[in-house]
Chain A
Amino acid sequence: MGSTTYTQKREEQADFSMIFFFSETTFLVPKDLGIKTLEDLNGKRVGAARATTNLKAVEDLAKEGKFKPKDIIVTETHPQGMLALKSGKIEAYSTDRSLLEGLRMKDQNPNNWMTVPFAIAYEPYAYICREGQSDFRDFINNTIIWSIKTGKFFELYDKWMGPTGVVPIPMSEAYNNYLQMMVYPISDEWWKQ
């Protein structure tokens, strides 16, 4: 079990828990390139990791003609994407904003890079479980809801992605609202059943 992007195709082969996080597919670019909009990426070489929904989003966008990259370069891992960016093989690397911010912070010069202010796709995150085991899925869902209700979820979010966390990603209002709306009354000792 691991967290992964919820897609319909994947749903056909496995079961997903409730969605507990949203990530944006966007780009990490050199700051001095001044990229503000998707059109600014026309004629640029963009990269993404193999077998990610981010790559799919970039490819689909290019196929639909929404932007015209010079080349789409596939890397094996995110650090390799960063390496490709730094060595000038690509001008923009795409994955989830959270991961891109992580890559940026780990670089020697985090200020040379920026994530662009737009996103090309939104990805719901959920836990993936084996198909047809609904008891297990219920258990996971209840755990998520319980942690939101007790505030544990927000504590953890702050620890990792709060302003002083490892990868600061501000929690948007929409996301916060979504979390609150998901919670239904749940007894503190639900797992005893």
Chain B
Amino acid sequence: MIEIKNVNKWFGEFQVLTDINETIERGQTVVICGPSGSGKSTLLRCINGLEPYQKGQILVDGVSLSDPKTNLYKLRENIGMVFQRFELYPHMTALQNITLAPMKVRKLSKDKARKKAMELLQRVGIPDKADSYPANLSGGQQQRVAIARSLAMEPKYMMFDEPTSALDPEMIKEVLDVMIDLAKEGMTMLCVTHEMGFAREVADEIIFMDFGKIVERGTYEGFFKNPKSERAKEFLKQIL
């Protein structure tokens, strides 16, 4: 369970996050949307400790991130993250990208790590690309390798930061399908995305952020079909 309590964050003078409250139960899929610059990426980075916050509290399975005794490296093993621009290691093959963390962090043997990586590549549908370098993969294939790389650490939580917004339309589906499968298998997920189809299929809750605040929250029907706030209505008009 991830508990976010009254979190506030500033970049210097500029307040990026204001009084964020949210609880994500195990097995839930939460979709975050909102206009550019509203603080969605920053919120995700606070949850796995890549960014510090100044006020409030974030607890992951009861462990506070702001507690100086918390081992953030250990904590991040449990929280996978997928980025908008994939961020694969360009000098390594797909397989090496996936096996690196399990071997170095979990001290898995090379054979075990490879076996597991191949299973994951199978699962995201590109086992034949194991020895390809990122530059020789399409965007959709790269993002699926990135998802496999995160899953290789067997995380309890997965965070996605606009995983399809850098992709051509024909590749979006192949990535969303992988994500939908994950959600249906019971993975706890936090997704920044504007893909309504994905939200309709798997989202338990949709959060709408604007200017660092959670302005509105609801189910797919509640939010996408009947937004309450003016800002949400405007925003939806733009993305639809």
Q: Is there a contact between chains A and B in the complex with CB atoms less than 8 Å apart? A: no
Query: Which A residues contact B (CB, under 8 angstroms)?
Result: none
Query: Which B residues contact A (CB, under 8 angstroms)?
Result: none
